[in-house]
Each structure stands twice: as C-alpha cells, then as structure tokens.
C-alpha cells in the first residue's frame, strides 16, 4: 500500500475499534468503574501491570484486586494498615503474586505521599517525542524504598531494551483523550504526541505485515521504529493506531 492508502486504511480501523464497544472485552473496563482521578490511575496501573495472558483472566484478576482493596484503591493505598495487607497474600496472576501486590501498594503509597503522584513522576523526565526515559525514571522512584527484588521484574525498563508494553498501554489510557469514551485523557501534563505504541505479539505482527516495522524482536529498538512509522501517519496522536493494529490482529486475525 502507498502511504496515503495505508493511512486511510488504518484510520478506518481506528474508527472501527476506538469506541465504547471496545471497553466490554478489554482490561480498560476496570478503571472505567471509577470516577476519582486517583482511583482511575491506580486501578489502571495495577490492571495494566497484570495485562499479559488470557484477557478474561486479566479482567477477573484485576477485579479481584479491586475487591481486595474494598473497591476504593486510592483510599486503600493511602490509609491501609499492615493487617489489611495480609488479605492480599493469596493473590496471584501468573507470576505476579501477593508479595508483589503488597510491594506495589507500598510503593504507590510512597509515590503519592512523597512524589505528588503518578502523573507528576511520569512528567518529570518526559521528552518532546518520548516517555521512555520517564518510564525508566518512574521505575527508579517506584523501587527507591525497601523492596523485594523479585517484584522489580514486573515493571519494565526501556533503558534495558524493553518495549514496556504494559506501561505504554497504561500511559495511553491516562494521557490520550480519544473523545470516544475509551482512553481517559485525565493527565494534562503530558501530550498524546509523546506516547509510544503498546508493542506486543499482535500489534507487532500486524505492523510487520503492513511495512510499519522491520525489526523481528519486540524490544525497545522495534518500538522506536514503530513509533517513527506511526508519527509519520499522525504526529499529534500516533498511538491511536494501537487500536487498528490490535483490532486487526486479535479480532480479524490479519
């Protein structure tokens, strides 16, 4: 396809998938249960953290996390007692277990008490066309308190060549205002033009078939290549094409 034909094709797929119907089958439905900004971002962050594997399992376990926190995640983060954390011990989603969840609760508490909040931390190291250094900085802040070493693997670091799919997805949720009721757009310190595509098996395979990506591994180098291709299509909102790539891969078997 020529560039203008490709853009027209993908723009149509964005319209097809970037709408409220998408929510029903996607983990983004979990933060959509809330209205308070901090509840949305905490629910979104924890849900994105366990977003690998079977989507039904992701949604069920994310719901379980919210239930364990009394369906008031921000209040739980800020006001829990040590005894409250005992109820989290039996949580498990694949390799993310109760020990990891408890560490996440403690690190989030630290961020809100001592670093203003999630949006502020991610905004500090933001670059004009990238948030990858922001993600790396966020990880350093997240684990600056005493922590279990096993939990570090659950936050990716682009500086160590990770595509950081789950955090890039979370950032899309928070920053991109799609005017369609899916992405929230509640973070105002950052712009959709800075976002990177949540690169996974589905979006990567479709991107290669469409000539948007040549690198075979789904790593930070591939993400940079895909970002450049998507910015050529729309420099202001490049990550809207995540809907097209994901929809083509998951729902259409493209």
**pLDDT at residue 88 greater than cutoff 80:** yes
Q: Which two tokens stand for residue 67?
A: 């239930």
Identify the burial level of 23 via C-beta atoms within 10 angstroms of its C-beta, where 0-12 means exposed, 13-18 middle and 19 or more buried: middle
For 139-153, how does the pLDDT look when each residue is reduced to its tens digit (9 = 90+)? 999 999 999 999 999
The model's pTM: 0.97
**pLDDT at residue 2 greater than cutoff 80:** yes
Q: How far apart are CA 155 and CA 144, in angstroms?
A: 13
pLDDT confidence bin for 107, thresholds 50/70/90: very high
Q: How far apart are CA 250 and CA 244, in angstroms?
A: 10
Q: C-alpha dihedral over 55, 56, 60, 65, to 10 degrees? A: 0
For 224-240, how does the pLDDT look when each residue is reduced to its tens digit (9 = 90+)? 999 999 999 999 999 99
pLDDT confidence bin for 201, thresholds 50/70/90: very high
Q: How far apart are CA 236 and CA 234, in angstroms?
A: 6
**pLDDT at residue 1 greater than cutoff 80:** no
Q: Which two tokens stand for residue 199?
A: 């690169």
**pLDDT at residue 166 greater than cutoff 90:** yes
């Amino acid at each position: 396809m020529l560039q203008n034909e490709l853009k027209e094709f993908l723009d149509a797929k964005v319209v097809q998938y970037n709408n409220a119907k998408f929510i029903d089958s996607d983990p983004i439905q979990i933060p959509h249960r809330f209205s308070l900004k901090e509840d949305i971002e905490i629910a979104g962050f924890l849900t994105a953290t366990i977003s690998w594997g079977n989507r039904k399992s992701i949604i069920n376990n994310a719901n379980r996390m919210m239930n364990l926190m009394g369906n008031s995640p921000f209040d739980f983060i800020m006001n829990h007692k040590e005894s409250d954390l005992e109820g989290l011990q039996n949580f498990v989603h694949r390799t993310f277990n109760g020990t990891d969840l408890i560490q996440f609760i403690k690190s989030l508490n630290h961020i809100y008490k001592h670093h203003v909040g999630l949006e502020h931390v991610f905004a500090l190291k933001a670059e004009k066309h990238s948030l990858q250094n922001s993600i790396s900085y966020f990880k350093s802040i997240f684990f600056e308190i005493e922590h279990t070493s096993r939990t570090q693997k659950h936050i990716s670091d682009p500086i160590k060549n990770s595509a950081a799919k789950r955090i890039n997805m979370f950032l899309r949720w928070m920053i991109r205002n799609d005017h369609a009721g899916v992405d929230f757009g509640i973070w105002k310190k950052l712009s959709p033009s800075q976002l990177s595509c949540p690169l996974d098996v589905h979006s990567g395979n479709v991107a290669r078939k469409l000539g948007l990506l040549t690198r075979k591994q789904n790593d930070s180098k591939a993400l940079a290549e895909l970002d450049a291709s998507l910015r050529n299509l729309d420099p202001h909102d490049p990550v809207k094409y995540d809907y097209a790539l994901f929809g083509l891969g998951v729902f259409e078997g493209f």
